[in-house]
Structure 1
Amino acid sequence: MLVTGGSSGLGLAIAKEFAEQSARVVITGRRQEQLDEALVSLGNDATAIAADVSNASDLAALFSRIESLHGRIDVLVANAGMGEITPLGKITEAVFDRVFNTNVKGVTFTVQGALPLMGQGSSIVIIGSTASMNPGPGLSVYGATKAAIRAMVRSWVLDIKGSGIRINLLSPGPVDTQSLRSMLADDAEQIIQAFSEKSTLGRIGEAHEIGKAVAFLASDASSYINGVELFADGGASQV
């Protein structure tokens, strides 16, 4: 199985969940040093391959290497993504392109490139976000990328009808990762407290909880679930 953006945060938590279930895990990320550090926690059956999902040649090399190593992909978790807080009036072309290239272009060509290596019973889980519905101030560009992926999944399940491959979207709410805290910068504690108060569980998520939700969508336990957007956000999107 392949987890993009698997060297830290949600991606690494997802990879750990599958490694604990004895899956042969391949993780990708842009920085080889960070990938090598992540491998220490994933066991001997894991492999790290440096790749930027927004780069077509990187993706081609990635899938060629996976085909050589394993011959197929049973589970694809398209997790690689990024976000920046940029309010209207300060959105630059560089910010727009950077976020869309990773979150939309990257996911699109990751899924398309993986399909030839997938077959009956395979599963694709794309990591979305509750920002697809409620992006909040400064997150219009990020939220738009996640809404775009939601629309794409609804079309893609029709495009590959009959293949036996399922595609679902797992959309977390705020999860306590270093990337979230870095994005929130000096306001992190205050904003996390506000997120916690909005949740019907009174807290934000933990990365391992997202890993377990992804594992469910990837497994035969969800064999009749296809094309859904499952929110893992402590109920915040329901109230």
Structure 2
Amino acid sequence: MKDADCATDNLTRLGDLTCIYAAIGCVLAHHLVSRGYRVGLCCRNVERGNNLASLLKLDGESVVFVKYDVSSESQAALFKTVWEIRGRIDVFIANARTVDGFSPYSLLQRTQPLGKLPPVPDLRCTETNYKGPIYGTVLATHFVRHNPTPGGKIIITSSTMAVQPCAAFPEYSATKATQVAWVRATAPVLFEKEHITINVVMPNAYDTGIVPGFADMFLPEHMVTKSCLLAAYDEFLNDEENQRTGRLVETTHDNLIYHERPSVLSEEMGERNCAVFEPLFKAIHGETSGIDGATKGLPNRETTLGVRQ
């Protein structure tokens, strides 16, 4: 997919200029440019974003930087800019993330009187980590419909905390879990209707520069290598036929592990509860889903229950 165009989120919280080059979004930007992609790069910090874009402009036009907040409507500016320059968007990598901005445990509130209520939680983590990919998916879907050949790829950077939540970062863990649910829920319809694949990369510990001294907290063999991290994204970027969708891949130290969808423990009951009911889908979304396994009509109660009620 040489000469393709890609919109990729940078991190919303960066350290100093050294840290920006270690962050996942920046590592990805370097990698995509090396693969021949034209990259749209975005960040809240204009100076850092422009500096990185300048470093990556190997041919004078490989990278464009747009300042934006992924949790707001300004995210559309990146897509518009890339489209105006290239007239196509092939890949969107939703990589923006931030960590908890409050403590749900209120441990320091123990001595407060009943009438002194805790402050309203700072939910910027939820805004960025969950709302950002949702709006990004909607925007990516809109733009890739107009590609010369409709269709494209969406890759969301999640975390292994999506499936193994961490008590130190409960909000972050929850937002990462919602990303997984979002991908698994939307993948069948996006593929059926738009030939868009949507997948998740779940890194283990990787030093992004967000947390000072982060690497000191882990043994070297418990940290994800750069080559393993990039290999996870390449699993989907290299899918030339664009058939692999709704998948979760975890990065270990130097290996990739795919996570399958959990089995339905309640069997037939649970399977029916999660199946698409086409009349309801059409009422919500405007047309039927057309996906495999969708229920097209009301159940036959005589067959199911033995007695029509």
TM-score of the alignment, normalized to the shorter chain, above 0.5: yes
Q: Which letter does structure 2 place at the counterpart of 1:176?
A: D
Which deviates more from structure 2 when the two are superposed, residues 152-161 or residues 228-237? Answer: 228-237
* Correspondence 1:123-138 to 2 at 5 A: 123-138=153-168
Which residue is 2:115 aligned to?
none
Q: CA RMSD in A?
A: 2.5
- In the aligned structure 2, how far is the partner of 1:105 from the partner of 1:10? 19
Q: 1:88 to 1:236 in 2, by over 3 A?
A: farther
Q: Could you tell me the TM-score, scaled by structure 2's length?
A: 0.66
Alignment identity in percent? 23
Number of the residue aligned with 2:181: 151
- Which of structures 1 and 2 has the larger relative contact order (alpha carbons within 8 angstroms, sep 6+)? 1
Q: How many residues align?
A: 224
Give the structure 1 partner of residue 200 of structure 2: 169
Of 206, 209, 214, 1:178 maps to 209
Moved over 6 A (4+): 235-238
- Pick the aligned partner of 2:83 from 55, 67, 73: 67
1:35 is aligned to 49
Verify the 8 A CA contact 1:176 1:207 in the aligned structure 2: no
The answer to whether 1:122 aligns with 2:152 is yes
Among 23, 29, 36, which residue is 1:15 paired with? 29
Asked if 1:232 is matched to 2:248, the reply is no
1:53 aligns with one of 70, 95, 98:
70
Counterpart for residue 126 of structure 2: 100
After TM superposition, the score normalised by the length of structure 1 is 0.84
Corresponding position of 1:76: 92
Name the CA distance, whole Å, in 1 between partners of 2:226 and 2:99. 17
Q: Deviations over 1:122-171 (max 9, x none)?
A: 11100000011122221111000000010011111123223211000001
User: Could you list the runs of 5+ residues in structure 2 that have no partner in the other structure?
Assistant: 1-5, 15-19, 107-117, 259-309
Distance 1:236 1:121 in 2: 26
* 2:245 partner letter: N
**Using a 3 Å threshold, how does the CA distance of structure 1 residues 189 and 23 change in structure 2: closer, same or farther?**
closer
Letter in 1 for 2:39: V
User: Which has the larger Rg?
Assistant: 2
The question of 1:205 aligning with 2:228 is answered no
| Cα-to-partner distance string for 1:80-137 (whole Å, 9 max, x where unaligned) | 1111385541396443x11100000111001111211114441110000001112222
Secondary structure of 2:78 counterpart: helix
Distance in 2 between residues matched to 1:100 and 1:69, nearest whole Å: 32
